[in-house]
Structure 1
């Protein structure tokens, strides 16, 4: 069953329910933010959010080593080793003197291939890279549950390899946006700009618990249970995602772009509450910087960079230009 554009993949299946309704197609976006094989995708019905992943030999949480000066620039897609793990990375576009490297971060349940068209467009003006997080796309599976610090260490290793000492702008969709926003405050030396495309709100668990009470029944009850399970680590990346306050990432340019089509309202009875909670969650991300702005992609549901790619491209262009001038 496909349920959410904002839920990290598992909502699309709404677990074992397999309810095929118009509502299901809408709700896949309530949780983390993407879709397994994409919310628009095919292989959703056979995806089991509780299926065990095959563990790899080395730990995902160990620190990565800095790149050597001899490391060749990546062109196209290739596997790199970070903390002993194989990570799938794609880079394109020419470096711009003094300019940041743009790093795209996919939503939960997706992979770098989902953002390939956006990367191609941006590469006309910028050096752009993307990567599959552990448990996503063609990267290794995590050994066990991950926290945001472990996911951040993999991101650091990727940045070491693809950007070296150059500044970076992180552009994240849904769960990728949340990870970028949590990472930036601790890495102000290299993260010089953020673009959050309908990023998972910082208090999503609490938002869902308030919007859909325990007394709810039917699809709403399943949606609630599924999302809470996702945030507790029952997702492809085995990532545990706690609620938390928004910390400052410094005086960097930040663009928060939220969806304009109220697709979450399709959930009977509780949909309007979910829409209001999502909108409030987008506003919370403005606390990242005194230079934060919020805009609405009027014609988009959750996948803004698919529904209105021009909006996403322009947001990245603006932030990158501002980051270059700092």
Structure 2
């Protein structure tokens, strides 16, 4: 039987919603960071299955889900700072396995780069590459590009989002031998065959972040692999644990 508790953590006067789920093992702490504008509900299908391997932390970043808005910049370095403080207040000690979906992948990469000694593993689920705008977006249809630029109303601005990608490019050169799994979607909606090939190529390029890595392609998944084929996220967690 798992035990779970919900708590609001005060960071700089802002109440952030957290849910901690404990199974048989207290350690490692498995942190799940959702995509841009998304929150903890994105992980519900997989969280209850992954507690077999440790303690799971789900949380809503500021301004999303049940968390209050923050006056601080909505850039990755600020989000990592808030996450670090949140972990300390919840007394969730390292080692951490960080799982980031989409934009959440930028956040967890930055966390691993800032705190490598606390990071036991990294799992990037269809994560945003820092060169997305320059190398990928131009091959997509005008309609897709227009929709892409219009989405930046939920969590920070387009400029803040691009600042986060810049931070990843600046700080996330290598995480050494920390176990890394890239889980990539093999069946993305609205992608031409050319775009799908390019996307998988860019996901493979993220492998160079670690000398200790694995690529998993979810053949029938769209962007939300943790919903479409959650077994690949579980497989990634197992691999990381066996290579720690």
> C-alpha displacement at 1:299, in angstroms?
1.9
* Alpha-carbon distance in structure 2 between the residues aligned to 1:119 and 1:109: 19
* Alpha-carbon distance in structure 2 between the residues aligned to 1:289 and 1:111: 27
The aligned counterpart of 1:61 is none
* Alpha-carbon distance in structure 2 between the residues aligned to 1:262 and 1:110: 18
The aligned counterpart of 2:144 is 223
The aligned counterpart of 1:253 is 179
Match status 1:187 vs 2:115? yes
* 4+ residue segments displaced more than 6 Å: none
RMSD of aligned C-alpha atoms? 2.2
Paired residues in the alignment total: 234
Q: Structure 2 residue aligned with 1:276, among 172, 176, 197? A: 197
The aligned counterpart of 1:176 is 104
Go from structure 1 to structure 2 and tell me whether the alpha carbon gap of 1:151 and 1:101 turns closer, same or farther (over 3 Å shift).
same
Q: Deviations over 1:176-206 (max 9, x none)?
A: 1222123211111211200111111221111
The aligned counterpart of 1:92 is 21
The aligned counterpart of 1:307 is 228
Matches within 5 A, 1:259-298: 259-265=185-191, 271-298=192-219
Judging by fraction of residues, say which structure has more strand.
2
- 3-state SS in 1 of match to 2:52: coil
Matches within 5 A, 1:1-326: 75-94=4-23, 96=25, 99-143=27-71, 145-162=73-90, 164-212=92-140, 220-228=141-149, 230=151, 234-238=152-156, 240-242=160-162, 243-244=165-166, 245=169, 246-265=172-191, 271-323=192-244
CA contact (8 A) 2:29 2:92 kept: no
Judging by fraction of residues, say which structure has more helix.
2
* Alpha-carbon distance in structure 1 between the residues aligned to 2:89 and 2:243: 24
- In structure 1, the gaps of 5 or more residues are 1-73, 213-219, 266-270
Q: TM-score if structure 1 supplies the norm length?
A: 0.66
CA contact (8 A) 1:184 1:249 kept: yes
- In structure 2, the gaps of 5 or more residues are none
* Alpha-carbon distance in structure 1 between the residues aligned to 2:100 and 2:86: 15
Q: Deviations over 1:241-275 (max 9, x none)?
A: 2344341123100000101124332xxxxx34432
* Alpha-carbon distance in structure 1 between the residues aligned to 2:210 and 2:154: 31
